Structure 1
Amino acid sequence: MPSLSISGAYHVLTRRKPMEDTTESKLAKVLSAFDLTALGIGSTLGVGVYVLAGEVSKVYAGPAVVISFLIAAIASIFAGLCYAEFGARVPKAGSAYIYSYVTIGEFMAFIIGWNLILEYAIGGASVVKGLSTYLDKLFNYAMRDYLSKNFAMNIEGLGDYPDFFALIVTVLFALAIAVGAKESSRLNNVFTFLNLSVVLFVIIAGLFKVSLSNWSIPKSAVPEGYGNGGFSPYGLTGIIRGAAVCFYGFIGFDCIATAGEEAKNPKKSIPFAVVTSLAMIFLAYFGVSTVLTMMLPYYEQDEQAPLP
């Protein structure tokens, strides 16, 4: 009897969703390959492009941050190809949750589903917090000073004050998404275009201020605690550690697969959108990190808001 119970429990935990159930959809198929590509870029190329390069170059890799981004991009491409294949075979909303449900079983899908919720919750919070910090710096930290004075919090594990701006931004974007796929896609396309325009402007403007000498700073000129100077002041270990941090900047492209159920031609548009968006994201990170580390010595980078 115990063996039957164990066998039954194993069967329940590993039962898989039939492929036939994944072919039916009540969602309108309105998203083109361009929409999916813009969605991938918009979801991935967030505040990280304005923050990561400064932090990784100063703390982990120095000017070799460009190599760290390359390593992270290669790892992301491999993961992206897996998403592309699954998205083409199982064009259903749910991303890794539905893929694991179809191939592995219900229990693993349950775990992966909750991990995805945790990922999006933490990722969304970090993005809006970074946006809030950047805008606050433009106004000489007026928001931080006011909130920390009037709404100070002394709770361990939480911020020093509630970030109302980040909350408002989150609610506004949640409402925009709730309106519908096509409408939210149009809004995303606009913001993605603006984001890429700003990144391109920073890269082009920075080219007039670059100096190759910042990639070969002698050890004698480097302050204590910032490595040995040169292109890779922290060595190979620093490059690998930096790549692990840079990989965070490529998280988000999986939303392309999540929206696969609303794609017009998912078998072609999902693989195209995944690969294209990751390639464009890498070029953006590579360009920003190259210009940034050539404009300023790596040890002078601002970790919270590195772009001038």
Structure 2
Amino acid sequence: MVFLEKLDDLLKGYAPARVVMTGFELGVFTMIAEGKTTAEEVARAAASSTRGMRMLLDALTSLELLQKHNDRYQLVPGSEAALVKSSPQYIGSMWETNHLWSAWSALTQVVRTGKPYTRLETESDAARFFPMLIRSLHVYNLEPARKLAGLLLPSQIPPDSRVLDVACGSAVWSIPFAEASSEVRLDLLDFGDALAVARSYVERHKVDAQVSYIQGDLKHTDLENDRYHLIILGNIVHSEGAASSRDLIQRCARALRSGGKLAIIDLFPNEERTGPPRAVLFALNMLINTSEGDVFSVSEYNQWFEDAGLSEGTLVQLGSTTTALLAAKP
């Protein structure tokens, strides 16, 4: 019976996720924050049915994202920053689109054929989804990134370091280094659409005088030898596949100065690839959304580090679900 109950919970796990996604897609959290507190008022603003909206808001209340008193709804205290669109900490951008829902719904076909639903490692596909994704990821990753900067600067890299952020997205993993030292210089590498988003965050964090931009594909952009004190691969190796990742690490190793650090932020499965669930489920996400992407164990990374002339990697916990693997160039 216990097994059946666990299985039932797993099979019905889609429902809470879909409820929250619909809340973001319809903008109900923002509407409630603006003073529309009854189901009728929110339904009218969202061009939705009153019956459907009442059921949605009640479901969100049961999930402890809303509170309800006398048929009026309000946000749970402390949640406004994450749930309301006008907040700099709003995490809903990536959930306002049905991309991930539609992509995961194609899992059966993807497993059968081995062909992805989309190829987010390409510029054309990335341009449709990444600007929304990286806005949410900036919020999720900012505090872990600040922890990484505090760990490395200035004890392991100098205060005047030159840092390369590969496939930078919003530049969340490198901006904290510039915030920590006015002498740090950042080179941000990504596709053009992503760099436009990165530029907005650089300006928001007021470090634009310390930043240069490199528009290009990480697979083909030339990296200058012996230039960088730190190179960051923040949640990007998983989209590239083993062969491309091995090549990227070798190119990064050549671009590092002696004593420089390579920081890889990613999900690392155990050696048997049986867990943790977050990592092995993300491997399926890469199957769905990339041609060659996967997650890799620490031993796999260490082999690539050895081949590239880098030290064995050291794992650093940056948050409850965020880990970095650090390697050095002798």
- When the two structures are superposed, what TM-score results if normalisation uses the length of structure 1? 0.26
Structure with the larger strand share: 2
Q: Which has the higher contact order (CA 8 A, sep 6+)?
A: 1
Structure with the larger helix share: 1
